Structure 1
Amino acid sequence: MTQALPKQITFDEFIEWLPESSEVRYELHDGVIVEMPKPTGQHSNVTGFLIEELVLAIIQIGKRGIWTIPRESIVKPTSESGYEPDIIVLNQQALSSEHRWENESIIENAASVKLIVEVVSSNRRDDYYKKRADYEEMGIPEYWIVDYAALGGRAFIGNPKQPTISVCQLVEGEYQVSQFRQGSRIQSPTFPELNLTADQVFRVGR
């Protein structure tokens, strides 16, 4: 479970407060500091596997040295929130417009982002509701919700629940969602030649 630290603060106060070296991850949700759940082994395996696959895809489409996956970053979708995505693919050519990137690893412009991936854990409502809405409002072009353990609500992943990867593509300011389950190949607007199936991802999380 996520744990909220109740004091209401600004984004800049959050960045100033944020511990530089901590085993705990924190995010700012509507002005409230939230302690994020510690990833399980399966969660880490899935995240690591997807990073490897996306790095290979970046190389294959000739974007090596142009697109990058940083170890850490904070996305600021609103003036009261700051998220640390599980995976973010950045366009290095656009980072010159990010005046807080060099010193603080903060992303404020959707043009810097090619893709954000959140791997679902116990804070599933954040991934399906809050972050999806905020990334859409910010203008993030593509957002994946990787629910390898079928933790999301039935309205999102079916009844009975089943592992699902939801790929949200921004179309005229709104996310259009495509879902991939057992037996299907993931189709990504950013990586159209990605050769990755939902089954491969789910196997890593077992």
Structure 2
Amino acid sequence: MTALPEPVRRLAIAAPRRPLTIADYVALDEDDQFHAELQEGALVMTPSPEPEHNLIGLELAVQVRAQLPPELIAVPDVDIDLQLEPADGPATVRRPDLVVVRQIELDRRKSEGGVLRASNVVVVVEIVSPGSRRMDYHTKRDEYADAGIPHYWIIDSTAPMSLLALSLTEELGYVDNGEVTGTFTTTSPCPLTIELDKLG
């Protein structure tokens, strides 16, 4: 039997023997080798992203941040409580590659602690990694829609670099107009232009 890597073993020992709440998740130790999320109270661990993945996210954050109005902030690689259950229920926490969040949510988190809440996230971005395609295109798509996040962007770094922008509707959940390569433009949540070829 293969032993668990030490960081995973430490987290597994620290986690309660029941579905985790948001408070349980916040109390867990950080780790820089593994990427931890919660899916309906279950701790999900994946290896930390490759440097190329992080460079795409960094360039995207630079492009987005320069175009946002003062009330919106771009934050890379941050935990989001999707608020799919009451605070004492089995939590779902995702760590997208980038979020655009209202400044008031950063102010709330700074004063109250915890993690950012989906109710004030306006855009969530996932960069597809080897092994994350199904999770990004299906599972997280459903979760982010259920959380009421208005915009979900999926960036696929397979050449040519593409962006699939999904917008939330009341009747159909997320809808899209197909993948875009080259230059992506939108007017929601504010006017934005993303030069995809410069991402990586």
TM-score tier after normalising by the smaller chain length: 0.7 to 0.9
Question: Do the aligned partners of 2:162 and 2:180 also contact (CA within 8 Å) in 1?
Answer: yes
Q: Corresponding residue for 1:172?
A: 170
The count of residues paired between Structure 1 and Structure 2 equals 180
6-15 or 42-51, which deviates more: 6-15
Cα distance in 1, alignment partners of residues 74 and 81 from structure 2: 17
When structure 1 is superposed on structure 2, of 192-201 and 125-134 the one drifting more is: 192-201
- For 1:93, the aligned partner's letter is I
Task: Check the 8 A contact 1:115/1:190 in 2, yes or no.
Answer: no
> Which residue number in structure 2 is paired with residue 197 of structure 1?
195
Aligned identity (percent) is: 23
> Which of 58, 68, 74 is the aligned partner of 2:79?
74
Determine whether 1:116 maps to 2:124.
yes
Deviation at 1:92, TM superposition (A): 1.3
2:49 paired with 1:44: no
Deviation at 1:123, TM superposition (A): 1.9
Structure 1 unaligned segments of length 5 or more: list them: 151-161
Residues 179 and 142 of structure 1, relative CA distance in 2, 3 Å threshold: same
Q: Indicate if the aligned counterparts of 2:57 and 2:98 stay in contact, CA closer than 8 A.
A: yes
Cα gap change, 1:188 to 1:38, in 2 (>3 Å): same
The two structures have a TM-score, normalised by structure 1, of: 0.73
Q: Sort the Cα spacing of 1:108 and 1:144 in 2 relative to 1 into closer, same or farther, 3 A.
A: closer
Mapped contact 2:169–2:175 kept (Cα < 8 A): yes
The two structures have a TM-score, normalised by structure 2, of 0.75
1:92 maps to 103
RMSD: 2.9
Q: Deviation above 6 Å: which 4+ runs of structure 1?
A: none
Q: Distance in 1 between matches of 2:52 and 2:197?
A: 15
Structure 1 residue aligned with 2:88: none
1:81 corresponds to which letter in structure 2? T
Residue in structure 2 matched with residue 53 of structure 1 by the alignment: 63
Alpha-carbon separation, structure 1, partners of 2:189 and 2:23: 37
1:190 aligns to what SS in structure 2?
Answer: coil
Per the TM alignment, residue 179 of structure 1 is displaced from its structure 2 partner at its CA by 2.7
Q: CA deviation at 1:113?
A: 1.2
